[in-house]
């Protein structure tokens, strides 16, 4: 085990990116709630756009890190995963419901694991990292549910994904706002956080 320095200012500097990710998730969730009967093709396009935008915002957050020694690559990997899931669904919009389900399940599992890993790294640097852990756990649960029960039908799939996206977005929005308040009230120097080598 070694000590990694995480600058709280660098974590809070990009609070707005997390807020945008949260808002994008909530908008996607609301679209699926208010139009649950949308066609599978429309779901593919909406999900593809959401995953792509979420991936781009995660990469922006990783690149804008002020301390290059931080574990920014976890956010970068999460962003690449989101962009890949978005590209797959946008390039092949005619994919079947089952293939789409597995693409979404894989994206949710990878994103969830990476978010839990990031939250564990941040547990001593900021308060409210439990929101990121909870969103990661929610992602993993959705991925597992989609893999274990792939046949509930397209409408159930839309509602599951919409509920996940809305709750996930709300958690990210809350985390982003907490980081914003921490930024405005923080005048502290970098904090040492124990990390795994």
pLDDT tens digits for range 112-161:
898 888 888 777 776 767 777 888 898 898 888 888 877 665 567 777 77
Give me the torsion for CA of 33, 38, 40, 41, rounded to 10°.
-120
Is it the case that residue 101 has pLDDT exceeding 70? Answer: yes
**Is the confidence at residue 49, as pLDDT, over 80?**
yes
- Helix intervals (H) in the chain: 8-13, 15-34, 40-63, 72-91, 97-122, 129-148, 154-185
Q: Tell me which architecture the domain covering 2-195 has in CATH.
A: Alpha Horseshoe (1.25)
Q: What is the pLDDT of residue 152?
A: 62
What's the sign of the alpha-carbon dihedral 110, 114, 115, 117? positive
Domain boundaries, the chain: 2-195
Residue-averaged pLDDT of the chain: 75
Cα 63 from chain centroid (whole Å): 16
Question: What's the pLDDT score for residue 195?
Answer: 43
Band (pLDDT 50/70/90 cuts) for residue 83 is very high
pTM: 0.59
**Sign of the alpha-carbon dihedral angle for 105, 108, 111, 114:** negative
Structure tokens at 8: 């709280």
CA distance 98 to 28: 20
The average pLDDT across 25-52 equals 78
């Amino acid at each position: 085990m070694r000590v990694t320095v995480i600058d709280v200012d660098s974590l809070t500097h990009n609070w707005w990116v997390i807020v945008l990710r949260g808002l994008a998730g909530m908008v996607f969730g609301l679209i699926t709630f208010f139009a649950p009967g949308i066609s599978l093709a429309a779901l593919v396009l909406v999900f593809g756009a959401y995953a792509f935008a979420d991936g781009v915002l995660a990469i922006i957050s990783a690149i804008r890190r002020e301390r290059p020694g931080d574990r920014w690559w976890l956010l970068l990997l999460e962003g690449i995963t989101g962009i890949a899931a978005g590209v797959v669904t946008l390039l092949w919009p005619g994919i079947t419901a089952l293939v789409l389900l597995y693409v979404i399940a894989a994206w949710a599992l990878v994103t969830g694991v990476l978010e839990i890993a990031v939250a564990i790294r941040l547990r001593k640097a900021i308060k409210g990292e439990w929101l990121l852990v909870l969103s990661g756990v929610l992602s993993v649960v959705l991925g597992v549910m989609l893999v274990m029960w792939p046949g509930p039908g397209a409408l159930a799939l839309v509602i599951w994904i919409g509920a996940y996206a809305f709750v996930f977005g709300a958690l990210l929005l809350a985390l982003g706002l907490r980081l914003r308040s921490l930024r405005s009230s923080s005048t502290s120097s970098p904090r040492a956080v124990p990390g795994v080598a």
